[in-house]
Amino acid sequence: MEYAPRKIMVPKENGISQDPITVRKHHLDTNQHVNNGQFVQIAAEYLPEDFQVGQLRVEYRQQAFLNDVLHPVVWVSDEKYIVEINDASGKPYVIAEFSGEAVRTAE
């Protein structure tokens, strides 16, 4: 297995801000903060439907709680999507990197 670097490099420019998301009860785990799997599901919502994920890397930076507002930003590059989910000040809760390719269907 080829190991990727520990840190996900987030581009400095050209991120596309998405609509804010308010944390609701269904996002929470038994510790009353956003479940890590929920963060991944939220980030995956910004992938195109035809994108085949080959590798997923996630950095968890801080916890989010009920009624916190999440501010997603998406970067798209060659066969890679980076989704940073930030707090109101721009500090990341989570950075997710999806590598793969678009699935081509026969016509």
Tens of pLDDT along 12-59? 899 999 999 999 999 999 999 999 999 999 999 999 999 999 999 999
Confidence of residue 1 (pLDDT cuts 50, 70, 90): low
Which is nearest to 28 in space by CA: 63, 57, 56? Answer: 63
- Find out if CATH 3.40.462.40 is the number for domain 16-102: no
What string of DSSP letters covers 23-81? --GGGB-TTSBB-HHHHHHHHHTTS-TTEEEEEEEEEE-S--BTT-EEEEEEEEETTEE
Average pLDDT in the 5-11 region? 87
Residue 83 binned pLDDT confidence (cut-offs 50, 70, 90): very high
- In percent, how much of the chain has pLDDT > 70? 93
Supply the pLDDT for residue 12: 86
Percentage of the chain beyond pLDDT 90 is 80
Handedness of CA 26, 87, 100, 105 (dihedral sign): positive
Q: What pLDDT, on a 0 to 100 scale, did the predictor assign at position 34?
A: 97
- Please say whether the beta carbons of 23 and 39 come within 8 A: no
In whole angstroms, what is the distance from residue 13 CA to residue 42 CA? 22
Q: CA-CA distances (angstroms) from residue 93 to 27, 35, 39? A: 14, 12, 9
Confidence of residue 75 (pLDDT cuts 50, 70, 90): very high
The residue type found at 74 is V
